[in-house]
């Protein structure tokens, strides 16, 4: 599922009066009482919504409208609950009413876009998100939802740029890294896909899509590696891998080699630093960090994800980062590793918490004159993803 705005987030984002607004007269006691009553009713409706009682929530929001007809927040919350109960046409009608009630465009754009996309109108969804971006070109949720719709429409180049904007604006939003990893993988950006999936796994663990992201990493390591016998392994490299996200040629070569080496090291009597899945990822992160230390290069993936690995290498924390990212995948084996590497885990956490992610982001091109036929939709995720 998409990421609509909750009542509490809506309240926070609506904020107070903008600078330059004309001063308002002090509310009368009756107006103050009515405002407090509306706020309580909306809060009560939100609790019902969060419990899945959408009909009860809608009824409670309508009580708020009875006190304050046309209240934009109450209208928005009704539309959101209607959307969650799959009353898409009703949600769209209510959202349009909220728009006439002067709800901030960026808020409404997310919900209207989600509704239109679920109604099978990706072009109208894209138009809604882009309209919201005119009002607020730095609202990451609009880029995230825009990227998801572009994926559904098969427009992967635009999806990639939309997700890149989302992660640059909000690096702590797991869904944006997940979406970007998906597109990188589908478009043949091998190392960027692993880096984006790893970042996602640092932010989210133990969910179905975390298992999917871990599987992507496994698939990307195994790509081009063929075990012909117990002693012979064939490695194939794609010489035409795209380079506009940064020239990862040197590290692209390392990925299948790291996959193949896990088995040969153990066959030769050597030991790995952690389970094989963790060891190969840790080594790749170290290679990327050392590579980036010398020449970070150009391209969003190179400029955004690589400096984080440079910081990890400086702290000697790539293995710990791999352990944190894969903790939901091989938890028992990784638990044994982490119990003996407390300092390394602490160092990795300090990098995670203190790193300043790049805020540079690519410009989003205009939509092409005609959109391709919709592709199969990606798996939806819970609100807040």
CB of 255 closer than 8 Å to CB of 241: no
Query: Per residue in 224-257, pLDDT tens?
Result: 877 766 666 777 878 888 999 999 988 988 888 8
Q: Give the pTM.
A: 0.84
pLDDT at position 155, please? 96
Other beta carbons within 10 angstroms of residue 22's beta carbon come to 5
B/e letters for 270-284, b = 16+ CB within 10 Å, e = fewer, are: eebebbbbbbbbbbb
* Residues 6 or more apart in contact with residue 314 via CB below 8 angstroms: 289
Provide CB contacts within 8 A for 274, sequence distance 6+. Answer: 282, 319, 322, 323, 333, 334, 337
Q: For 68-173, where are the alpha helices, taking DSSP H only?
A: 72-84, 88-100, 105-118, 122-135, 140-152, 156-169
75, 101 in Cβ contact below 8 A?
yes
Q: What is the DSSP letter of 361?
A: -
Model pLDDT, residue 16: 34
pLDDT tens column, 187-226? 999 999 999 999 999 999 999 999 999 999 999 999 887 7
Q: Is 305 within 8 Å of 188 (Cβ atoms)?
A: no
Q: What is the pLDDT of residue 272?
A: 64
d(CA 189, CA 238): 11
pLDDT tens-place string over residues 264-311: 655 545 556 778 899 999 999 999 999 877 766 689 999 999 999 999
Q: pLDDT (tens digit, 9 = 90+) per residue, 114-163?
A: 999 999 999 999 999 999 999 899 999 999 999 999 999 999 999 999 99
Say how far apart CA 332 and CA 335 lie, in whole Å.
Answer: 5
Q: Which domains does the chain have, with CATH numbers?
A: 1-11+33-103 (1.25.40.10), 116-187 (1.25.40.10), 221-354 (no CATH)
Q: Strand, coil or helix: what is 285?
A: helix
The rounded radius of gyration (Å) of the Cα atoms in the chain is 24
Q: Which residues pair with 226 in a beta bridge?
A: 234
């Amino acid at each position: 599922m998409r990421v609509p705005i909750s009542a509490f987030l809506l309240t926070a984002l609506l904020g107070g009066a903008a600078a330059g607004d004309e001063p308002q007269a002090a509310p009368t006691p009756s107006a103050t009482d009515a405002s407090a009553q509306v706020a309580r009713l909306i809060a009560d409706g939100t609790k019902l919504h969060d419990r899945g009682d959408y009909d009860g929530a809608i009824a409670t929001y309508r009580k708020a409208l009875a006190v304050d007809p046309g209240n934009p927040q109450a209208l928005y919350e009704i539309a959101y609950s209607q959307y969650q109960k799959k009353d898409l046409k009703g949600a769209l009608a209510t959202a349009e009413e909220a728009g006439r009630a002067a709800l901030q465009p960026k808020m409404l754009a997310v919900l209207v876009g989600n509704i239109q996309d679920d109604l099978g109108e990706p072009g109208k969804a894209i138009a809604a998100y882009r309209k919201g971006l005119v009002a607020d070109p730095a609202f990451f949720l609009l880029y995230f939802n825009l990227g998801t719709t572009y994926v559904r429409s098969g427009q992967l180049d635009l999806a990639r740029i939309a997700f890149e904007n989302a992660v640059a604006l909000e690096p702590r939003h797991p869904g944006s890294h997940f979406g970007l990893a998906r597109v990188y993988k589908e478009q043949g950006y091998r190392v960027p896909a692993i880096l984006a999936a790893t970042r996602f796994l640092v932010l989210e663990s133990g969910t179905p899509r975390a298992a999917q992201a871990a599987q992507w990493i496994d698939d990307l390591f195994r790509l081009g590696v063929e075990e012909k016998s117990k002693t012979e392994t064939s490695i194939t490299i794609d010489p035409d891998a795209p380079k506009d996200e940064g020239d990862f040629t040197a590290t692209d070569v390392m990925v299948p080699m790291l996959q193949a080496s896990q088995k040969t090291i153990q066959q030769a009597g050597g030991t790995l630093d952690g389970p094989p899945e963790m060891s190969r990822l840790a080594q790749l992160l170290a290679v990327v960090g050392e590579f980036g230390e010398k020449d970070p290069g150009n391209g969003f993936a190179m400029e955004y994800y690589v400096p984080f690995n440079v910081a990890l290498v400086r702290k000697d924390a790539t293995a710990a980062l791999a352990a944190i990212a894969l903790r939901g995948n091989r938890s028992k084996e990784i638990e044994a590793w982490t119990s003996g590497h407390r300092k390394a885990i602490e160092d990795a956490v300090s990098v995670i918490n203190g790193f300043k992610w790049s805020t540079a982001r690519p410009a989003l091109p205009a939509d092409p004159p005609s959109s391709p036929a919709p592709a199969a939709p990606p798996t939806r995720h819970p609100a807040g993803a």
